[in-house]
Amino acid sequence: MTDPASTPVALITGASSGIGAAVAARFATEGTWRVVLNGRDHTRLDQVAAAIGGHPVPGDLSDRDGCRRLVEAAVGVSGRVDLLVAAAGIGWAGPFAEMPDAAIDEILAVDLAAVVHLVRLVLPQMMHRNTGHLVLVGSIAGSVGVREEAVYSAAKAALTTFADSLRYELMGSRVRISMVVPGAVKTPFFARRGSLYQRSHPRPVEPMRVADAVWDAVAHDRSEAFVPGWLWFPARLRGAAPSLFRHLAARFS
């Protein structure tokens, strides 16, 4: 029988639905991970945890104390965190000039500040043990920018740069960091942001495709993964030829 103390622990945020719930299920079904789940919706989080045999730790990550309480609870359950998957995220769609101040603050708090604080809380013990993995779930919006999603795009772009900067700091250690960059995904995200997804292309993918990419990034130590894979091309084009990309984006939207 496997010693529970030797079983690695995955802490997954945003796990009450969507990508986070799919990631939690993916790791739980492997049978080699203890899964600690976080989300704001207590009822849904309990349902997901019960279905996969995970440990629910509900809480709001929009403030620093909420992040601290989550990590303390996760460490209290398991003694450590071997993997952090930062999948929680919120959005808001509409002209930036009409965006409420509260929505700006909430997106920056949940999509960016919470991730930074969580990494800061789990990283020291990973470095002390010289092992661990950080997976940040970004968005193609952070790679190319998306009309009427200015703040969300900015927050996700910042995550990519944060991951790159940390990767340089962690060189020489056995602590790894991966950036998973999905496009549109079939989750409640769009309904909650106040605007349904209406583009004909690209079509939204299932959350489990993102979960598979997260699993693959951890299993094979991949620094970056786009879901679907072809999204790497507009991201690279945006970096290599920004003027051309903006021209094409403005023309085809």
Q: Which residues are catalytic?
A: 152
Tokens of 136: 């940040």
**Residue for token pair 């079939």:** 186
Tokens of 252: 């085809």
Tokens of 115: 């991730």
Distance (Å, whole) CA 134 – CA 149: 26
Contact indicator for 132, 176 with CB cutoff of 8 Å: yes
98: exposed, middle or buried (C-beta count within 10 Å: 0-12, 13-18, 19+)?
Answer: exposed
CA 169 to chain CA centroid, nearest Å: 21
The β-bridge relationship of strands 83-86 and 132-137 is parallel
- Return the CA Rg of the chain: 18
Distance (Å, whole) CA 10 – CA 134: 10
**Residue for token pair 């997106």:** 107
> What are the backbone dihedrals phi and psi of residue 123, each rounded to the nearest 5 degrees, phi first?
-65, -40
